[in-house]
Amino acid sequence: MVERETWATRTGFILAAVGSAVGLGNIWRFPFVTGEGGGAAFLLIYLLFVALVGFPAILVEFVVGRKTERNPVGALIELGGDAWKYVGGVFVLTGFVILSFYSVVAGWFIRYFLEGFRGSYATHLEGYEAAAAEAGVSTAEVMFGELSTGLDAFFFHTIFMLLTIGIVALGIRRGIELAVKTMVPAIIVLLVGLAIWAFTLPGSGAGYDYYLSPEFGVIVDNWQTLLPAAAGQAFFTLSLGMGVMITYASYLGEDRNLATDGVTIIGFDTGIAFLTGLVVFPIFFAADITPGEGGAGEIFVSMTSAFADVTGGHIIGLVFFGIVAIAALSSAISLLEVVTAYVIDEKGVERWKAALGMGGIIYLLGVPVTYDLVFLDLLDGFADGILLVFGALMLVLLVGWITPKFAVQELEKGIGDLGGLGTAWIWAIRVPILVVLVVSLYLGVVEYVEFLTEDFADWIDANL
Ligand code: PFF
Q: pTM for this structure?
A: 0.94
- Given the CA of residue 243, which atom of ligand 1 is nearest to it? 13
Which tens digit of pLDDT belongs to each residue from 384-440? 999 999 999 999 999 999 998 899 999 999 898 888 999 999 999 999 999 999 999
Which tens digit of pLDDT belongs to each residue from 27-49? 999 999 999 999 999 999 999 99
State in Å: Cα 456 to ligand 1 middle: 25
**Mean pLDDT across 13-29:** 91
State in Å: Cα 295 to ligand 1 middle: 19
pLDDT of residue 1: 39
CATH 3.90.45.10 fits 10-463, yes or no: no
Q: Whose CA is nearest to atom 11 of ligand 1?
A: 239
What does the domain layout of the chain look like in residue ranges?
10-463
Q: At what angle do helices 204-212 and 258-286 cross, to 10 degrees?
A: 140
State in Å: Cα 337 to ligand 1 middle: 12
The model's confidence at residue 2, banded by pLDDT at 50, 70 and 90, is very low
Ligand 1 shell residues, CB under 6 Å = 20-21, 23-26, 98, 236-237, 239, 242, 244, 331, 334-335
Of all residues in the chain, the percent with pLDDT exceeding 90 is: 70
| 227 and 445 Cβ atoms separated by less than 8 Å | no
Which tens digit of pLDDT belongs to each residue from 62-81? 999 999 998 899 999 999 99
Mutate which of 180, 329, 334, 386 to test ligand 1's pocket (most atoms within 8 Å of Cβ)? 334
For residue 250, pLDDT over 90 is answered with no
The model's confidence at residue 248, banded by pLDDT at 50, 70 and 90, is confident
Q: Whose CA is nearest to atom 7 of ligand 1?
A: 239
Which tens digit of pLDDT belongs to each residue from 155-213? 999 999 999 999 889 875 555 566 667 777 888 888 998 899 889 988 899 999 999 99
State in Å: Cα 200 to ligand 1 middle: 32
- Given the CA of residue 244, which atom of ligand 1 is nearest to it? 13
State in Å: Cα 135 to ligand 1 middle: 35
**Mean pLDDT across 205-233:** 94
State in Å: Cα 25 to ligand 1 middle: 6
CA dihedral (100, 104, 105, 110) in degrees, to 10, reads 140
State in Å: Cα 392 to ligand 1 middle: 14
The model's confidence at residue 311, banded by pLDDT at 50, 70 and 90, is confident
